[in-house]
Amino acid sequence: MPGPDDCEPFAASAVTVPGMELRIVGGVDDVSADHELRAPATQLWLRATAPVGSRVANQAMLCASTGTMLIGTAMLPRAGVGQEQAHRTISTGVVGHTATFLEPFDLGDWLLLDQESVHAGYGRVHGRARVFDRDGRLVATYVQDAMIRHFTDGKDHSAASSTVM
């Protein structure tokens, strides 16, 4: 597995949290609608750009940073859809997101997120991920259920993208 220094920075601000740095393994594009078709799995390196004060703050920042990435992962085997369309021409939203913390971790150092979408269909997505520290220890897991649907009115909702789901 390439380390974070060997991976390209992930520049899509729509799916990143301020104060976090993200690097995607293998240069996978799960944002644009014209991405290369591939299996619904991604590996990403994540870290905070400033010190995170406490164990609870580390956990909260990890949860905030993983909220939308499984939706993009689920779109990888599908042509013509990408996370860039969210809240514009397709309706996406997290229905449930559960994180389990197994070991303490420092978000100031890199964590590896190993994600996969295990089901996408009928407007719903189910995905899961394992989170490892740089030493390879499993420190957390998360699962997510989300919706992905085309807007039924056929309109572009870009003007309302911050409020429409």
Cβ-Cβ contacts under 8 Å for 79 (sequence gap 6 or more): 37
Please give the Cα distance from 24 to 119 (Å, whole number).
22
Q: Is residue 133 part of a domain?
A: yes
C-alpha 91, offset from chain centre: 16
> What domain range includes position 63?
4-160
Q: Is residue 62 part of a domain?
A: yes
Tell which wins on pLDDT, 42 or 158: 42
* Span 68-118, pLDDT tens digits: 778 888 888 888 877 777 777 788 888 899 999 999 999 999 999 999 999
| Residue bearing tokens 């991405």 | 35
Q: Is the pLDDT at 43 greater than 90, yes or no? A: yes
Tokens of 27: 């240069």
Tell which wins on pLDDT, 52 or 145: 145
Q: Is residue 12 part of a domain?
A: yes
* Span 104-160, pLDDT tens digits: 999 999 999 999 999 988 989 999 999 999 999 999 999 999 988 888 887 887 777
Report the CATH number at residue 101. 3.10.129.10
Q: Is residue 61 part of a domain?
A: yes
Q: Is the pLDDT at 13 greater than 60, yes or no? A: no
pLDDT of residue 80: 81
* Span 14-37, pLDDT tens digits: 456 788 888 989 877 777 777 778
Q: Is residue 20 part of a domain?
A: yes
Tally the domains of the chain.
1
Q: Using the 8-state DSSP alphabet, how is residue 40 labeled?
A: S
Write down the pTM of the prediction: 0.86
